[in-house]
Amino acid sequence: MARFHPSRFPDELKADRAGAAEYAVFEALVDDLPDDWLVVHRVRWIDGPAQGWRSDGECDFLIAHPERGLLVLEVKGGHVGADAATGKWTSTDARGTAHEIQDPYGQAMRSKYALERHLKAHPKWKGRHVPIGHAVALPGCLKTGVAAPEASDAITIDADDLNRPREAIERALDWWHLTVHDEWTRDGLTLVERLFVHREFARLRLGARLGQHEREFLRLTAPQSRVLDQLRNYRRAAISGCAGSGKTMLAIEKARRLADEGYRVLLTCFNRALAEFMRTQLPPPRPAARKAGAGQLGLFGDPEVEVEHFHALAARWAKRAGIALEEPAPGDADRFYDSVVPEALLAATGRLAERFDAVIVDEGQDFAEAWWTPLQALLSDPDHGILYVFYDDNQTLYRRGGRLPIDTPPFALTTNLRNTRAIHREVVRWYRGNDAPDAIGPEGEKPETLGYRDETGLREHVRRVLHRLVHDEKVPEKDLVVLSPHGKTSALWRDPQFGNIRLTDAWPPAPNHVQFSTVYAFKGLERPVVVLAEVARTTGRLEEIRYVGSSRARSHLVIIEERTD
């Protein structure tokens, strides 16, 4: 059987008229095409600066073969025909209602040329020949009912043809007299797959003890790739989601996919630790394999994405542009980081020629409104360059988030895919966003809540919890983190030794060491097990701390809170 993407036709598309017609074609191709064919359903792409920011493209099916070339297939349902007098095309449904449609052959031809330009502009394929043709599938009618000069029988696949679709596909490719060179045979399908087929979506590591939950989270995260497919239709978009809805993994994967398409991509965020994590999920480029023969990577290596947190990015650009940034004066840190550093980045863009084709921002709620101007100035085309912003409208820990530079309504991610349902119930107590989230993960254990009255009680709880988790329950140290609202002033950090376990701010932790972080610095990150300590009712912004801190735990949560009663 041919390689299909997606491997199964999406159930939600079968109900509408267009989807039903595509389903008929999909099933016919599944039954008849052999292993050396590749079929991609509902292909979308965004044109970049190399194409002069032309309109973006799409096609219903893209069918590829290493020795026969590439076929763009447009599908129209119902009884399709053209009026000879007016030239208008209609599709008549089963109830006899005629719907005006676009000329399917014109659509297929435009998609073919647009896709050919897109492939030729890819930096790993630039200037190479693309053997590409187009055809139209009409599963609801016969060719005799289609009267139009451009509707050649050779490139028309009707209801009868779907009984032997391989023959029809090969007939259409033969009609175009395509010249298939060695480079297409060797690397053509790799090019198509790198651009339009995304098998590995979430790269989550599986822990030994917590493996069952982790495998379930991995399974639940995979369908989020459909959101990325939707984003193919948008050059700029905001994506809103609760903690645990997969925003960071979506941002990472979108950056990787855009880089695969040949764009120079910046992935940025507010937190240094989050930037370091995202960088580990996008391996640095390595030399591409250049061995001859089909199935090799050929021209293609790992994608290139620049990952940097906002202030480090601004400081680096300022230094390269010769703009001095002195350390902030005592008491002036807020103004320095909120205004001085972003203004230096904007000034640097006026002196440096370097630009990005796409900018992706994670944790966008932490970006001040004035920061969007220098970020957009980093784009090769500030007006049309690709910009995606992922944000949580419930999080206001830094209280600087303002209006986003995107006017269209956000895509809403309302499902928590990170936490067990038991942890989710704790998290949602502190949620104040617009779209109430739900959870579909495993039930898991109820979060533990321990109370303390003084520092001695706090430290004793932490010592016992860490000993039990690491030594008795065999939780690997790398799967565990202790979070606090406080930093270096924390009662835990002043003396970080707890029995034979020591807290550390280093990552990864050494044996018998457990990572310690503030809730603020850990935003956007997660661990299978979280100990949220030093939670006091007198702590400022208690709701946000409880929301962010609790939602970092995927499988188990321990809350150590101060008791005053």
Structure confidence by residue, pLDDT tens digits, 412-450: 888 888 889 999 999 989 887 766 788 887 888 899 999
Task: Give yes or no for residue 379 having a pLDDT over 60.
Answer: yes
Q: What is the mean pLDDT of residues 281-309?
A: 57
Q: Quote the pLDDT of residue 274.
A: 93
Q: What is the mean pLDDT of residues 171-195?
A: 92
Q: Which residues contact 326 (CB under 8 A, 6 or more apart)?
A: none
Enter the tokens of residue 195.
């651009």
Closest-CA residue to 444 (of 528, 552, 543): 528
Share of the chain above pLDDT 70, in %: 86
Contact 415, 223 (CB under 8 A): no
Radius of gyration over every alpha carbon of the chain, rounded to an integer in angstroms: 27
Lowest mean pLDDT among 155-159, 287-291, 305-309, 490-494: 287-291
Enter the tokens of residue 508.
């990864």
Contact 119, 48 (CB under 8 A): no
User: ω before 49 within 30° of 0 (cis)?
Assistant: no
The residue ranking higher by pLDDT, 211 or 250, is 250
Closest-CA residue to 278 (of 301, 256, 300): 256
CA gap 337, 325 in Å, rounded: 11
Q: Quote the pLDDT of residue 283.
A: 59
Distances 232 to 42, 43, 237 between C-alpha atoms, Å: 11, 9, 10
The residue ranking higher by pLDDT, 93 or 343, is 343
The sign of the dihedral angle between the CA atoms of 329, 334, 339, 345 is positive
Q: What is the mean pLDDT of residues 494-511?
A: 94
CB atoms within 10 A of CB 54: 12
Enter the tokens of residue 255.
């950056």
The listed range with the strongest mean pLDDT (146-155, 170-179, 389-398) is 170-179
Q: Is 3 exposed, middle or buried (0-12, 13-18, 19+ CB in 10 A)?
A: middle
Task: Give yes or no for residue 113 having a pLDDT over 70.
Answer: yes
Q: Quote the pLDDT of residue 97.
A: 87
CA gap 439, 451 in Å, rounded: 27
In DSSP notation, 17-57 reads HHHHHHHHHHHHHHHH--TT-EEEEEEEE---GGGTS---E
Residue carrying structure tokens 């994405």? 305
Contact 455, 484 (CB under 8 A): no
The residue ranking higher by pLDDT, 507 or 441, is 507
Q: Which pLDDT band, with edges at 50, 70 and 90, does 451 fall under?
A: very high
The residue ranking higher by pLDDT, 460 or 35, is 460
The residue ranking higher by pLDDT, 220 or 58, is 58
Q: Which pLDDT band, with edges at 50, 70 and 90, does 400 fall under?
A: low
Contact 74, 137 (CB under 8 A): yes
Lowest mean pLDDT among 85-89, 298-302, 325-329: 298-302
Distances 462 to 179, 222, 227 between C-alpha atoms, Å: 70, 36, 40
Task: Give yes or no for residue 299 having a pLDDT over 80.
Answer: no
CA gap 237, 360 in Å, rounded: 10
Q: Which pLDDT band, with edges at 50, 70 and 90, does 146 fall under?
A: low
The sign of the dihedral angle between the CA atoms of 492, 495, 499, 500 is positive
Q: What is the mean pLDDT of residues 16-29?
A: 90
Q: Which residues contact 211 (CB under 8 A, 6 or more apart)?
A: none
The dihedral region occupied by 69, where left means phi > 0, alpha psi between -120 and 50, and beta the remainder, is left
Q: Quote the pLDDT of residue 414.
A: 83
Q: Which pLDDT band, with edges at 50, 70 and 90, does 224 fall under?
A: low
* 3-class secondary structure, 513: strand
Q: Quote the pLDDT of residue 208.
A: 36
Across the chain, how many H-helices and E-strands are there? 16, 24
Q: Quote the pLDDT of residue 437.
A: 82
Q: Quote the pLDDT of residue 290.
A: 34
Beta bridge partners of 65: 69
Q: Which pLDDT band, with edges at 50, 70 and 90, does 318 fall under?
A: very high
φ, ψ of residue 145 to 5 degrees: the values are -90, 0
φ, ψ of residue 54 to 5 degrees: the values are -70, 175
Enter the tokens of residue 554.
């995927």
Q: Quote the pLDDT of residue 209.
A: 38
Q: Is 290 exposed, middle or buried (0-12, 13-18, 19+ CB in 10 A)?
A: exposed
CB atoms within 10 A of CB 181: 13
Per-chain mean pLDDT for the chain:
85
* 3-class secondary structure, 89: strand
Q: Quote the pLDDT of residue 198.
A: 66
Q: pLDDT, tens digit, for every residue of 239-255?
A: 998 888 888 888 988 99
Q: Quote the pLDDT of residue 527.
A: 93
Q: What is the mean pLDDT of residues 173-183?
A: 94
Q: Quote the pLDDT of residue 220.
A: 47
Contact 318, 378 (CB under 8 A): no
Lowest mean pLDDT among 175-184, 244-253, 485-494, 549-558: 244-253
Task: Give yes or no for residue 200 having a pLDDT over 80.
Answer: no
Enter the tokens of residue 160.
């009868």
Q: Which pLDDT band, with edges at 50, 70 and 90, does 321 fall under?
A: very high
Q: Is 218 exposed, middle or buried (0-12, 13-18, 19+ CB in 10 A)?
A: middle
CA gap 177, 180 in Å, rounded: 9
Q: What is the mean pLDDT of residues 21-41?
A: 92
Q: Which pLDDT band, with edges at 50, 70 and 90, does 82 fall under?
A: confident
Q: Which pLDDT band, with edges at 50, 70 and 90, does 287 fall under?
A: very low
Task: Give yes or no for residue 55 having a pLDDT over 80.
Answer: no
Task: Give yes or no for residue 206 having a pLDDT over 50.
Answer: no
